[in-house]
Amino acid sequence: MTNHQWNQLLSVIRGETINPLPVAFIVDCPWLPNWHGVQIADYLCSDNVWFDANRRAIETFPDICFLPGFWSEFGMCTEPSAFGTRCQFPRNEFPFAEKIINDIAQIDTLATPNPETDGLLPFMLNRLRWAEPKIKALGHEIRFSVSRGPLNVATFLMGTTEFLCAIKTDPEPMHKLLRIITDFLKQWHALQRKTFPTIDGLMMLDDIVGFMGEADFLEFGQPYLKELYATDVAVKFFHNDAACAQSIRHYANIGINLYNPGTQTSLAEMRRLCDHRLTILGTIPPRDVLAQGKPADVKAAVEKLLAETPDRSRLILSCAGGMPPGVTTENIRAFSDAARKFYA
């Protein structure tokens, strides 16, 4: 992310309105490798391929902010790998982490990983160390520490259905599991900030929040997320593109100031629920419009959103959720052009 993009982001979060509105997308291995013409496995295991793909994206779309920017990652295997899960890496499919908790009693034997040495995390940091001079040479900086959230990691360690059932049947062990994961994630974010002093943002992704009712979120989600966001950074970014109507009213109190939602709730309703305290990154449908539509469809969707939103403060134009697979260069350009031309 360039200094100009970072300063624009801070301005929008403060409530200032920028014309035209900034355009930003979360991009990682579901979209970037195939758009670049390589397979996912090559993107994940080759520093040069990974760097070239990210460089091509920022050079092809210089007016678009990609978040978190040069994301060093191994898909959903990233954090679970530190706990010892078996990671699957098909040639051109998304990585997947197999669960390791088959009995709740196993939680008692689970240790807090060391992010400096465990799993794939040292390789993530090494990639960024190697790339940092190259990133700076392009006029960009490493701005965010990144992780999946505690509920998301818990579901990879023990299974989504199993975890969501266990918060009802065995709440104490689930709190113990979330305590271990949260302590680990705090160390992981702190290590990223220590390694790269340019970091002044925290980005966390946790769709499991959207599978909980409000009461369960308040017990099993909010306390741990609040701990993680209680850090001295300027941008506190949260992604949950599952349902948010039952939890969004609490995000600002957690410390979140930038939110990337899904399509389940309208922008107007989200603003009402959170009292317009969050900057929203969205909310064009990612699959049905951005990936499967034609450039004219993308243009029409962006123009409709802007026409329906007279108050454009705390809004960054994007898709609802991360950039999906299959989005074309033409559709991204149509998105950016529509945002600019709306104000022409």
pLDDT band for position 344 (50/70/90)? Answer: very low
E-only strand ranges, 82-143? 87-88, 96-97
For 3-309+317-341, CATH gives 3.20.20.210
CB contact at 8 A, 82 and 115: yes
Comparing CA positions, the residue from 144, 141, 177, 143 lying closest to residue 158 is 177
Phi, psi for residue 250 in degrees, rounded to 5: -100, -10
**pLDDT at 182 > cutoff 60:** yes
**Cα angle: 200, vertex 253, 260; to 5 degrees:** 60
Phi, psi for residue 187 in degrees, rounded to 5: -65, -40
Q: What is the pLDDT of residue 342?
A: 73
Q: What is the pLDDT of residue 343?
A: 65
Encode pLDDT of 149-171 as tens digits: 999 999 999 999 999 999 999 99
- Cβ-based neighbour number of residue 93 at 10 Å: 12
Q: Which residues contact 104 (CB under 8 A, 6 or more apart)?
A: 166, 170, 173
Global pTM reads 0.96
**pLDDT at 32 > cutoff 80:** yes
Ranges of each domain in the chain: 3-309+317-341
84 by Cβ neighbours in 10 Å (0-12 / 13-18 / 19+) ranks as middle
